[in-house]
Copies of this chain bind each other. A is one copy, B any other.
């Protein structure tokens, strides 16, 4: 499935009935708080992208998923997946592995918010994914790190 830059493959208020696998391109997962975009995650080639909470609980999504470039993804639909679960027992393992994978991602992000300062998060990010800083506007990185753009600017100015 082709997705053009800035297309929203999930909107606030919709139920997320898919898990997508990113073949090409990148996405941001964010929500809109009074006009201010709060970025929860960036996702790249090889990642799964979904609002897993909405997917699992059936509740409407609070978040948007938006392409940051033209992209190619493969979607697995909730209903399809459930019927696959019932028909082919091996697929359960896939579901389990996806859940485990997503767990590890969110758990490490929780760690970074519980135990690191914004400055430490920033340094860890450039360590882990310096490419992100080239490709993504700085105000989005700031949001991802949980600080205001002014603050990220000041963190960068510290030596």
Residues of chain A having any CB pair with chain B under 8 Å: 33, 38, 40, 52-53, 56-57, 85, 89-90, 92-93, 95-96, 99-100, 102-104, 106-110, 113-115, 146
Q: A52-B103, A56-B100, A92-B92 are in contact. List 4 more A-B contacts (CB 8 A).
A: A52-B107, A56-B104, A96-B96, A106-B110
User: CB-CB < 8 A to A104: which residues of B?
Assistant: 53, 56-57
CB-CB under 8 A from A52, the residues of chain B are 103, 107
Are A107 and B146 touching (Cβ within 8 A)? no
Counted per complex, copies of this chain come to 2
Let me know if A114 and B56 touch, CB within 8 A: no
Sample 14 A-B pairs with CB under 8 A, ordered by A number: A38-B115, A40-B114, A53-B103, A57-B104, A89-B90, A92-B93, A92-B95, A95-B96, A96-B99, A99-B100, A106-B110, A110-B113, A113-B113, A114-B146
